[in-house]
A = this chain, B = another copy of it.
Amino acid sequence: MGMTPSLVVLGVTGLPEIGRGVSIGALIAQHASLVPGDVVVVTQKIVSKSEGRIVEVDASDPDAKRRLAESEAVRVLRRRGDLVVTETRHGFVCASSGVDLSNVEMGYAALLPVDPDRSARRIRDQLRAVAGVEVGVVVSDTFGRAWRRGLTDVAIGCAGVAAVVDLRGVEDAMGRELTVTEVCVADEIAAAADLIMGKSSGIPVAIVRGVDPTWLRESSVHEEIVRPYDEDLFR
């Protein structure tokens, strides 16, 4: 049998409701047994809660979410019915600037973290300080895509694990140099984590254990993944 046990995705359960100022890293360290090289995936919602990125909305006003989304955007790219697709200040293209009313108290909305790469670094540093373990951190959110139906989780911030891995110059299995090159491993890690998080199962943190150790390095979603407006063919 040629099977290589390669990658494990573990859900971290039992975390309490997250309030402003909570150290997510310290909480994770209490609830999970990490090993060096793990990548800890944290959903945006609890990061936003810990950073106080929660704002009041008038739940009776059907237009409140749209106005909030537009206030968080640098560009409104498309509208159709209730859907508004925007470019956020971070450069993310997503529905409603990532403003989200689910899993938030009634009458409130969660905004994206101001700097999700910094959020990831902070959680990585907390885990280093509290648990004494060197891990990667990915902050994930659920975005739609062009061309394909359904949402997938992607990385909005990362620390200590590559966002994009450059395979330029690596030979393929036939010994020819590959031309296809840059793999967005941070998005693939976020997607893998979402397979056990679900949307409502109350698992806001997952551990991806077993990623290629060469991917563990300083990194940034903003620098590596966000495609600037003027380089994009589809905006």
Contacts and interface: CB of A to CB of B under 8 A. Distances in A.
Interface in A162-205: 163-164, 167, 170-174, 176, 178-185, 187-189, 191-192, 194-196, 198-203
A187 B103 contact: no
A105 to B, nearest CB: 7
Interface string A20-44: 0000000000011100000000000
A4 B191 CA distance: 18
A144 to B, nearest CB: 9
Given A196-B4, A200-B173, A226-B149, A188 B191 contact: yes
Given A104-B174, A196-B6, A147 B227 contact: yes
A147 B225 CA distance: 9
A154 B5 CA distance: 22
A5 to B, nearest CB: 6
**Chain A, interface SS category:** loop
B182 A188 contact: no
A178 B200 contact: yes
A2 interface: yes
Q: How many copies does the complex hold?
A: 2
A163 B152 CA distance: 12
A104 B203 CA distance: 42
A117 interface: no
Contact of A152 (B187, B211, B232): B187
Interface of A: 1-15, 31-33, 78, 80, 85, 92-93, 100-106, 142, 145-154, 163-164, 167, 170-174, 176, 178-185, 187-189, 191-192, 194-196, 198-203, 206-208, 210-212, 224-227, 232-235
9 contacts: A2-B14, A85-B233, A103-B174, A142-B183, A147-B227, A149-B226, A150-B185, A167-B199, A191-B192
